[in-house]
Structure 1
Amino acid sequence: MRAIRIVTASLVAAALSVPLAWPGLATPQDGGQHAERGTLRAAAPRGLVIGSAAAGGGHHLDQPYPDPFTSDREYRRLLGSEFSSVSPENQMKWDFVHPERDRYEFGAADAIVAFAAERRQVVRGHTLLWHSQNPAWLEEGDFSAEELRSILREHVTTVVGRYRGRVQQWDVANEIFDDTGALRTQENIWLRELGPGIVADVFRWAHRADPRAQLFFNDYNVESVNAKSDAYFALITDLRAQRVPVHGFSVQAHLSTRYGFPADLRDNLQRFDDLGLATAVTELDVRMDLPESGVPTAEQLAQQADYYRRTLQACLDVEGCRSFTIWGFTDKYSWVPVFFEGEGSATVMREDFSRKPAYHALRRTLHEARRR
């Protein structure tokens, strides 16, 4: 086996000296000084973690601001106080963490994991097998099927093993079906070159690397009962019959006020819960078409708040849905305007971190659930 260089910054190494608790023990009520009164994490009922993506990497590298996670003090304060779970937005994806075949860059991911441990937050790892954000050396390399399989296994074992006992949930296979319910066999290098059986192997490898982590399928446009979510239901049923360690199914919930709310979200989550799976909402945001002024109307903000509230309520109504994550909490660093021209204002806070009606709708819904 060829030698592999693992690179981390000395500052991150120092941060990792913080004792790391098993993430399953960190709940919103255990947050101590970090569960400030009036925050989302303080309002959450016992057993439910409230998360946010930690901005950095990916499209942020091309924006006219320094890395949010490391440079914005108020952003870090709110990320630590408002949430009991953190997801690296891009910092654990292949192109960021494995930029060369023989080199890993763990500095940014290590810093997030250390930040979470210090604030008694859990971590969602994102992601191990995906068709997007792969490094050029991988996508453009001339590898045999045997070499590709070895590369994937080494990556999964190395990354999951590094955070053994410190990542609560992993998005193991991300977006492997298209909207018709067909596997992405052309877009996804792993499915195309190694066949669909590689999905089961990745779950097995991840489980061996960290037997305590919960392993998930994760996708968008699966909030409703439809061809895509049906494909996951059938695949997971088959994999579990083979005793493949699949533990959860999660809906990303990138929603838009252009479209109606997925009213059967709760029923869809429930059918996966009935299989014995954990369920989760992992990447919620609600984008909208902005007026010429760039400032949402009161009606738009009310509709957005309703979508946030109904998504949270659907999760609360399903016993096994115990992880609820929004994909960033401030418009200052949202991915939406970069990828959806003319749309924006998708998060629960404005660029100045003032709270929108969506934030208050989430906190009120959490508080009501906690009182029950």
Structure 2
Amino acid sequence: MRRTRLGLVGALAAVLVAAGLAAGPAAQAHERQPTLAGLAERHGRYFGSATDNPELTDSAYTKILGSEFDMITPGNGMKWYATEPEQGVFDWTAGDQIVDLARRHHQRVRAHTLVWHSQLPDWLTGKEWTAAELRAVLKKHITTEVRHYRGKVYSWDVVNEAFNEDGSYRETIWYKTLGPGYIADALRWAHKADPHARLYLNDYNIEAVGPKSDAYHRLAADLKARGVPLDGIGLQTHLALQYGYPATLEDNLRRFSRLGLDTALTEVDVRMQLPVTDAKLAEQAAWYRDLTTACLAVHRCVGVTIWDYTDKYSWIPDFFPGEGAALPWDERLDPKPAYSALLDALRQRAVT
């Protein structure tokens, strides 16, 4: 009787396998849905998301963050106000939390950012510094932070938002006190502290060819000619439907590549004027598809990072009243047409 039962079980299993109903490892692998990171990897690219410490208690959010992406950018936890709140007193709590999260999910980290004019602590902005004093402060901060994360991060946004829209230098505390040479110094100090990290300059409104991106092109060419350690240009790609798509994006990526530089789309979102409509969502999806396709078309465009992946935690409504819905997942963590458009773009054949 025992052998008869075993025979029946074996026959039934054979029927199920023949019918494709047995969910063995091969079948499960076949049924597994593709991820943005998995599809990007086929092109030799990464697909990442920014995140921030407050939302890490949201388990539904972190489940998607840990499965869809292979690169993480800390939105705020590595900025100056968080890492050196008092002069000479460093706090790595927020940044370390993001690095540890990425490690658990087998993700890399785009570290952001070392030198910026915004989100600086009061002790730094509330004092008049001599050039020698401020240079020493900047060198110590860069060296200490980069050394702390040495070997733990893929890259650094070393200098963030150094130019105005017309291509002139932004009148920051760094530029006014140290002159334009602070950029080369920052890159050299970061490289010395971690020779293996990729070093970027990063800015917004440089996606299209124009005065601001021209300024970065000139600066990058000069830095490369002088042997300054610069590896890439980060194009933030904060876009808005009402201002039009940057049609020269691919051409712009190519001209930086010709300088021997990597490029990356580093803070992508595509906001719209509210209320949301199906037509706006369709246009937004097309933009996400097109900007991803542009990156895939340029060999040295190494990846795309969206500035958090869900409208639930987007920065846009707080900074642009009446605008929002900028990301591929909505506030309920449901995918929008933009998510399908990204999948479609990443499924295409790679062009180099």
Residue equivalent to 2:8 = none
More helix by share: 2
Q: State the distance in 2 between where 1:103 and 1:47 align.
A: 40
CA contact (8 A) 2:191 2:197 kept: yes
Query: Residues of 2 paired with 1:52 and 1:369: CA distance?
Result: 23
Output one character per residue of 1:121-172: Cα deviation in whole Å (capped at 9) or x when no partner.
Answer: 1110111111111111100123322111111101101111111111111111
Number of the residue aligned with 1:205: 189
1:196 to 158, 172, 180: 180
Q: Is this contact kept in 1: 2:265–2:304, CA < 8 A? A: yes
Q: Who is 1:161 aligned against?
A: 147
Q: Deviations over 1:59-85 (max 9, x none)?
A: xxxxxxxx112x111111111101000
Q: Does 1:47 align with 2:31?
A: no
Is this contact kept in 2: 1:53–1:327, CA < 8 A?
yes
Does the CA contact (< 8 Å) of 1:85 and 1:123 recur in 2?
A: yes
Larger radius of gyration: 2
What is the CA-CA distance between 1:105 and the residue it aligns to?
1.4
Structure 1, gaps ≥5 residues long: 1-32, 57-66
1:181 aligns with 2:167: yes
Q: Which of the residues 326, 335, 350 maps onto 2:306?
A: 326
Higher mean displacement: 268-277 or 97-106:
97-106
Letter of the structure 1 residue corresponding to residue 55 of structure 2: P
Structure 2 residue aligned with 1:317 = 297
Say yes or no: does 1:286 pair with 2:270.
yes
User: For residue 58 of structure 2, what is the aligned residue in structure 1?
Assistant: 72
SS at match of 2:345: helix
Q: Tell me the residue number matched to 1:94.
A: 80
1:357 aligns with 2:337: yes
| Partner Cα separation in structure 2 for residue 365 and residue 143 of structure 1 | 49
Amino acid at match of 1:203: L
- TM-score w.r.t. the length of structure 2 is 0.89
CA distance in 2, matches of 1:329, 1:221: 20
Check the 8 A contact 2:43/2:296 in 1, yes or no: no
Measured in 2, the distance between the counterparts of 1:251 and 1:221 equals: 8
- 8 Å contact 2:129–2:177 — kept in the other structure? no
1:55-134 counterparts in 2 under 5 A? Answer: 55-56=52-53, 67-69=54-56, 71-134=57-120
Identity of aligned residues (%): 49
Q: Does 1:256 align with 2:240?
A: yes
Structure 2 counterpart of 1:39, which letter? T
Report the alpha carbon displacement of residue 38 of structure 1 after superposing the two structures with TM: 2.6
C-alpha displacement of 1:368: 2.1
Name the aligned partner's letter for residue 144 of structure 1. T
Which amino acid letter does the alignment assign opposite residue 315 of structure 1?
A: C
Q: How does the TM-score come out when normalised to structure 1? A: 0.84
- Give the deviation of 1:371 after TM superposition: 11
Q: In structure 1, the residue corresponding to 2:341 is in which secondary structure?
A: helix
8 Å CA contact 2:37–2:68 kept in 1: the answer is: yes
Contact 2:239 2:271 in 1 (8 A): yes
State whether residues 222 and 228 of structure 1, in contact with CA within 8 Å, keep that contact through their aligned partners in structure 2.
yes
Give the SS at the match of 1:306. helix
| Count of residues in correspondence between the two structures | 321
Q: In structure 2, what is the Cα distance between the partners aligned to 1:94 and 1:306?
A: 36
- C-alpha change, 1:358 and 1:183, in structure 2 (3 Å) is same
Give the aligned residue type for 1:245: P
2:227 alignment partner, SS class = coil
How many Å separate the matches in 2 of 1:266 and 1:368?
16
Q: 2:318 aligns with which of 323, 335, 338?
A: 338
